[in-house]
Amino acid sequence: MSLTQGYSIMFNIILFGPPGSGKGTQSEKLIAKYGLKHLSTGDLLRSEIAASTPLGLEAKNFMDKGQLVPDEVVIGMISSALEANPQAQGFLFDGFPRTEAQAEALDKLLKLNQTEIHVVLALDVSDEELVKRLLNRGLTSGRSDDADEKVIRARIAEYNLKTAAVAAYYKKFDKVVHIKGEGTLDEIFQLLSNEVNGRMAEKV
């Protein structure tokens, strides 16, 4: 693969936060503004489930219980997605990495292509607001993991147990910026855009 063609202008973002913090929602706006390739492991897994592939059937068992899908499955998916997009100007990683092992694997994959993560935007939202948003989405999304408060709380617990460590990992490299994830969509998008603009300007 050759991601290196776009290296000089490449900008890679991780949009980070607990389930329901607005990652998917804000990703749509960020990719439209900055022309990045959106890679959402949640979306990729749901496509596999919809197509009833063996990978999807395995993943569904974990997702329905609010648990993370095994690292090797999602790392393989991201590796293939990177290879499939050699012309990308940069990537927006949404919902990935979710464990320290995934973060280390992503760093290695990007390094192989002479690029790196430039900023980790971490959305902060209270647990009660997360539960409220996801139950609300569950009314229309048809997602089994949004339908039951017990599963939603299991997802939040899984985040605290395994995923919060990813922010600590990137803090060592001074890449994490915390953003208040409560407010209107436009207010939050403005805060995110200000950070991206600042980091992009530093890079030039």
- By C-beta, is 129 or 200 nearer to ligand B4P? 129
CB of 41 to ligand B4P, least distance (A): 3
Binding ligand B4P (rule: CB under 6 A), the pick from 12, 25, 113, 115 is 25
Nearer to ligand B4P, 21 or 113 (CB): 21
End-to-end CA gap in the chain: 25
Q: Does 22 bind ligand B4P (CB under 6 A)?
A: yes
Concatenated DSSP letters for 7-50? GGG---EEEE-STTSSHHHHHHHHHHHH-PEEEEHHHHHHHHHH
Q: Which stretch binds ligand B4P (CB under 6 A): 3-11, 48-56, 130-138, 165-173?
A: 130-138
Q: Which of 96, 169, 170, 189 binds ligand B4P (CB under 6 A)?
A: 96
Q: SS3 of 98, please?
A: coil
Tell the burial category of 153 from Cβ atoms under 10 Å away from its Cβ (0-12, 13-18, 19+).
middle
Given the rule CB under 6 A, which of 2-10, 68-76, 81-89, 172-180 is the region that contacts ligand B4P?
68-76
For ligand B4P, which residue of 12, 14, 16, 42 counts as binding (CB under 6 A)? 42
Give yes or no for residue 102 binding ligand B4P (CB under 6 A): yes
- Please say whether the dihedral angle defined by the alpha carbons of residues 44, 179, 163 and 154, taken in this order, is positive or negative: negative
